[in-house]
Amino acid sequence: MNSLLIPGGSAPAPTGETTGQSLDEPMKTNGEPSTVLTLSQVGKSFGTLRVLKGIDLQVQRSEVVCLIGPSGSGKSTLLRSMAFLEEYDEGEIRIEGQLLGWQDTDKGRRRAPQSQINQVRRNVGMVFQQFNLWPHMTALGNVCEALRRVRKLSADDAKKRGMAMLDKVGLAHKAEAYPAQLSGGQQQRVAIARALAMEPHIMLFDEPTSALDPELVGEVLQVMKTLAKEGMTMVVVTHEMGFAAQVADSVIFLDQGEIVARGTPQQIFHNAEQPRLQQFLQNYLDRNAFWQDAKA
């Protein structure tokens, strides 16, 4: 059903109602757990290739975590595991206290029923590098689709919420445009509006700007900055070091499936101690050096 809702992808297709959280989660005064996402010793292999190893991570409400690291280090696999689009096979991932994807039985761990998986991740929104919009639907139609089919909103209510979300990403005036009539940056903003319409508690972004022409990157980052300022909890895989430096509360450096370094942007970008991180940042600077030369 997920793939019906998001062409080419499988963003969470939530069903059912949110239920309680585990008792040991610290609570905020409004009754919501302050820890939105918890990963404990998460591992994942593709055949004999172990791509995630012992990942421990907590994301607090309103926190922005940026994941950086070389190509193939496991960033996408880790992010996709957080929505169970990849089946992690070691450890635990909990969303607001609820175990994602698996259930423990007398006979060991089993994949949870799909309805349960959908219910646990109903508050997780995901934005991919490829926008995955339906080409035959308008921008508004794309944003409203899951509201109608999953959240069962009336056509009027879906349209109202859809328009509000398009407005939020600065695209109310493009509501009736089809994806082919929109720039890449506009399509990505529609994809963000579509995810936001589901009122997620956490948004996961996988290199949302890397398929864009350079001049379109800024408009998408701006929307993400606004979301961060408004208190959205976010995990962002990005090669945009400037964005990570400006917006992240914490930056995680992944290499060969392991978290090699984590810290504030200041610690990661200005006081990097780990040789692998230093090397990664140096490569990044070298790649971008011609800008400095050109500017000089």
Ligand X SMILES: Nc1ncnc2c1ncn2[C@@H]1O[C@H](COP(=O)(O)OP(=O)(O)OP(=O)(O)O)[C@@H](O)[C@H]1O
Binding site for ligand X (CB under 6 A): 46, 49, 51, 69, 71-77
**Rounded to 5 degrees, what angle do the CA atoms 69, 13, 88 make?**
40
Q: Is 81 in the site for Mg ion (CB under 5 A)?
A: no
What count of other Cβ atoms lies within 10 Å of the Cβ of residue 90? 16
Of 32-40, 70-78, 241-249, 283-291, which segment contacts Mg ion by CB under 5 A? 70-78
Q: 34 or 256: whose CB is closer to ligand X?
A: 256
Q: How many CB atoms lie within 10 A of CB 62?
A: 16
Of 227, 221, 182, 174, residue with least CA distance to 200: 227
Is 46 or 229 the residue whose CB approaches ligand X more closely?
46
Q: Shortest Cβ contact with Mg ion: which residue?
A: 76
Judge contact between 42 and 88, C-beta under 8 A: yes
Nearest approach, Cβ of residue 214 and ligand X (Å):
18
Question: Does residue 238 belong to the site contacting Mg ion (CB under 5 A)?
Answer: no
Smallest separation, CB 70 to Mg ion (Å): 10
Report the residue from 10, 76, 142, 187 that binds Mg ion according to the rule CB under 5 A. Answer: 76
State the minimum distance, in angstroms, from the CB of residue 17 to Mg ion. Answer: 33
Q: Which is nearer to ligand X, 37 or 166 (CB)?
A: 37
Q: Which does 187 bind (CB under 5 to 8 A by kind): ligand X, Mg ion, none?
A: none
Between 76 and 119, CB nearer to Mg ion:
76
Residue 95's Cβ-count burial label (10 Å; 0-12, 13-18, 19+) is: buried
Count CA within 13 A, CB hemisphere, residue 223. Answer: 27
The nearer residue to ligand X, 145 or 255, going by C-beta atoms, is 255
Give the per-residue SS3 of 143-185: HHHHHHHCCCCCHHHHHHHHHHHHHHCCCHHHCCCCHHHCCHH
Largest CA distance in the chain: 67
CB of 249 to ligand X, least distance (A): 21
Residues lying near Mg ion in the complex (CB under 5 A) are found at 76
